[in-house]
């Protein structure tokens, strides 16, 4: 695995143009997210520079643009609020320590090669969680849009204060925020090729605020520290360790999912293939550096990545270019962002929140699956009104329980006991020859066939156990595993129990069609001590003939 990402000069023109365009789009977003989080506009800028630079250098997706995103900002805002409430003096330092730990967890995910598994979550949970984050971002930005500071209490506090804020709205600032939203929603698509709507909203809103309202008559970003950011040393106590670890894991998982899903989009646009584990390494280095210097956590940003690719970028040189341009703003032009109205940034953030909501699935989820829709709606409500971690935890638990139940039902359908007296074979014995059906259809043979099919994990165990009482009534039993490529531990133990029970009732038992993995698994349970390997026969037909012949010989001997 190469240490650095695919940085090359072979497409220098396209990469430089893509990087410049991505930087222009990133600037207003970074400022908006920095202010929205409560850490300050500079934290958004530091995060945009550091996460973007390290992810571009060490990541596994050449055209990916990484920066603070809406979902990461919402979660981090909750982290800051919790940390400051618990420890007013060191809360902000603890929050940035959590960002460092987020990076370390992502590096750990990379080392353990978990990249391919990170995005293996039910879509209903991901959709509900992301939509919930979108609603949170909209709600908590409504007070700044109206010209006020965000009230304490997060979502509930903002909703409770909203009637009073609307009654005493500041018209000038609300107009600036409304102008930003109007530009973002109504700007013609043809114009977007020349200027990003976020930048136009930022510039137009700031100029009008300065000309019409005056610099001191509206809530602006204010002083943004220039130059190099100060180092934020890790800060926490033993009592705070558990909370910080949980918050860091949530941020790491969310950031990893966000980045890898955006990497898939980049692959589809460039017809390339990203390296998931290497991308997690780059994201981890980026968040570690961002937290160390007081920046917001970040992830792969879909909008920035798509624009980067569409303007010609093909290598990681574009991401490096974007980071360097934003670095110039931080170090030399920070005074230019100080008069930007917070209401304009709130309008930009609200548009991001609206875009995060999965409107397409919200409209049709109930038609696709009512259970899936209920899971999604439940995750949205818990994300907005309860807790982000609780929402994901309960959503995953319920979705997995429903998946397990469906899996059990499907695997149970692959367990059939054939040949019992009065049992019609019909279509339940697919592929059976006329001779096999004749043997199974003759009750005097006393032969039964336990047909198993498909990869069998825990889902089939209960169905096998249910057959034990009927198995006890037959004289010869054949377990047909011809169509079983994989045998799980739980199902293997169920087969062992059924076999030993049948042998205990004096039944002759045969295995038919065992493939390599099921044979190895059954041998590991020493089942050959109950069923000699002489009774492990290659085909179902041979096993049936053998059972009939030995049964006939047994009857003749007893006579």
The verdict on 551 and 460 lying in the same domain is yes
52 compared with 86, residue with greater pLDDT: 52
Is it the case that residue 94 has pLDDT exceeding 60? yes
Residues 420 and 352 in one domain: no
**109 inside domain:** yes
Query: Do 431 and 350 fall into the same domain?
Result: no
Together in a domain, 343 and 453? no
3-state secondary structure 174-203: HHHHHHHHHHHHHCCCCHHHCCCHHHHHHH
Q: What is the pLDDT of residue 220?
A: 84
pLDDT digit string, tens, across residues 286-300: 999 999 999 999 999
- Tens digits of residue pLDDT in 139-165: 988 999 998 888 877 788 889 999 998
Place of tokens 């006393």: 446
In order, the DSSP letters of 375-440 are HHHHHHHHHHHT-HHHHHHHHHHHHHHHHHHHHHHHHHHTEEEE--TT---TTSSTT--HHHHHHH
Tell me phi and psi for residue 510, to 5 degrees. -130, 145
Q: Are 352 and 418 contained in the same domain?
A: no
**Last-in-domain residue among 308, 339, 356:** 356
pLDDT at position 424 over 80: no
Of 290, 321, 356, the position where a domain reaches its end is 356
Same-domain check for residues 24 and 120 = yes
70 and 206 in a single domain? The answer is: yes
Supply the pLDDT for residue 86: 84
pLDDT above 70 covers what percent of the chain? 93
pLDDT of residue 110: 94
Residue 393 lies in a domain: no
Q: According to the model, what pLDDT value does residue 279 have? A: 94
- With beta carbons less than 8 A apart as the criterion, state whether 73 and 353 touch: no
Residue 510 within a domain = yes
Domain-embedded: residue 434: yes
Asked if residue 371 belongs to a domain, the reply is no
Q: Count the domains in the chain.
A: 2
The per-residue pLDDT for range 304-317, each reduced to its tens digit, is 898 889 888 889 99
Are residues 320 and 440 both part of a single domain? no
Q: Could you tell me if 349 and 434 lie in one domain?
A: no
CATH number, domain of 521, equals: 3.30.750.24
* HSE (side-chain half, CA atoms, 13 Å) at 313: 34
Give yes or no: residues 208 and 323 share one domain.
yes
Which of 313, 338, 356 is where one domain is finished?
356
Q: What is the mean pLDDT of the chain?
A: 85
pLDDT digits (tens, 9 = 90+) for 322-349: 999 998 877 777 777 788 888 998 898 8
Residues 346 and 426 in one domain: no
Q: 61 or 126, which is more confident?
A: 61
Q: Which domain holds residue 463?
A: 414-558
If pLDDT is split at 50, 70 and 90, which confidence band does 511 have? Answer: very high
pTM for this one? 0.75
Whether 186 maps to a domain, the answer reads yes
48 lies in the same domain as 123: yes
Q: How confident is the model at residue 556 (pLDDT cuts 50, 70, 90)?
A: low
Confidence of residue 427 (pLDDT cuts 50, 70, 90): very low
pLDDT of residue 517: 92
Q: Is residue 366 part of a domain?
A: no
Flag whether 392 is in a domain.
no
**Residue 251 scores a pLDDT above 50:** yes
**192 vs 283, residue with greater confidence:** 283
Which pLDDT score is estimated for 426?
45
């Amino acid at each position: 695995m190469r240490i650095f990402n695919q940085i090359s000069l072979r497409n220098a023109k396209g990469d430089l143009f893509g990087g410049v365009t991505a930087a222009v789009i990133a600037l207003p977003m970074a400022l908006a997210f920095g202010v929205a989080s409560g850490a300050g506009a500079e934290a958004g800028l530091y995060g945009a520079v550091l996460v973007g630079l390290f992810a571009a250098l060490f990541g596994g997706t050449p055209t990916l643009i990484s920066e603070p995103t809406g979902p990461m900002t919402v979660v981090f805002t909750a982290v800051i609020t919790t940390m400051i409430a618990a420890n007013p003096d060191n809360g902000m330092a603890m929050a940035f320590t959590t960002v460092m730990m987020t990076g370390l967890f992502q590096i750990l995910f990379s080392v353990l090669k978990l990249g391919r598994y990170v995005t293996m979550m039910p879509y209903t949970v991901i959709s509900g969680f992301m939509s919930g984050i979108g609603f949170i971002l909209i709600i908590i930005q409504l007070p700044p849009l109206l010209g006020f500071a965000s009230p304490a209490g997060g979502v509930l506090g903002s909703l409770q204060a909203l009637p009073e804020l609307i009654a005493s709205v500041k018209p000038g600032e609300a107009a600036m925020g409304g102008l930003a939203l109007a530009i973002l929603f109504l700007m013609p698509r043809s114009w977007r090729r020349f200027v990003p709507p976020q930048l136009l909203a930022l510039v137009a809103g700031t100029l009008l605020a300065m000309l019409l309202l005056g610099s001191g008559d509206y809530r602006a970003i204010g002083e943004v520290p220039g130059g190099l950011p100060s180092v934020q040393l890790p800060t926490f106590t033993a009592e705070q360790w558990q909370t910080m670890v949980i918050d860091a894991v949530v941020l790491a998982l969310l950031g990893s999912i966000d980045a890898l899903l955006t990497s898939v989009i980049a692959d589809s646009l460039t017809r390339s293939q990203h390296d998931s584990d290497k991308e997690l390494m780059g994201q981890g280095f980026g968040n570690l550096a961002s937290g160390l210097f007081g920046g917001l956590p970040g992830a792969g940003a879909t909008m920035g990545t798509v624009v980067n690719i569409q303007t010609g970028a093909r290598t990681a040189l574009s991401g490096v270019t974007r980071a360097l341009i934003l670095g110039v703003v931080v170090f030399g032009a920070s005074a230019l962002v100080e008069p930007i109205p917070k209401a304009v940034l709130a309008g930009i953030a609200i548009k991001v929140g609206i875009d995060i909501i999965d409107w397409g699935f919200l409209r049709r989820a109930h038609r696709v699956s009512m259970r899936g829709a209920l899971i999604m709606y439940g995750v949205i409500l818990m994300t907005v009104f309860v807790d982000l971690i609780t929402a994901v935890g309960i959503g995953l638990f319920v979705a997995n329980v429903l998946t397990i139940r469906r899996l059990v039902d499907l695997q149970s359908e692959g367990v059939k006991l054939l040949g019992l007296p009065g049992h019609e074979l019909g279509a339940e014995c697919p592929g059976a020859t006329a001779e096999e059906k004749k043997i199974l259809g003759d009750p005097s043979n006393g032969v039964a066939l336990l047909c198993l099919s498909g990869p069998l994990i825990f889902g089939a165990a209960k169905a096998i156990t249910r057959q034990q009482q009927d198995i006890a009534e037959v004289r010869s039993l054949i377990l047909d595993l011809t169509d079983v490529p994989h045998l799980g531990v739980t199902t293997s133990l169920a087969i062992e129990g059924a076999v030993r029970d049948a042998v205990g009732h004096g039944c002759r038992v045969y295995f038919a069609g065992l493939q390599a993995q099921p044979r190895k698994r059954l041998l590991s349970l020493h089942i050959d001590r109950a069923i000699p390997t002489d009774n492990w026969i290659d085909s179902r037909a041979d096993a049936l003939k053998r059972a009939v012949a030995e049964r006939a010989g047994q009857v003749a001997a007893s006579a």
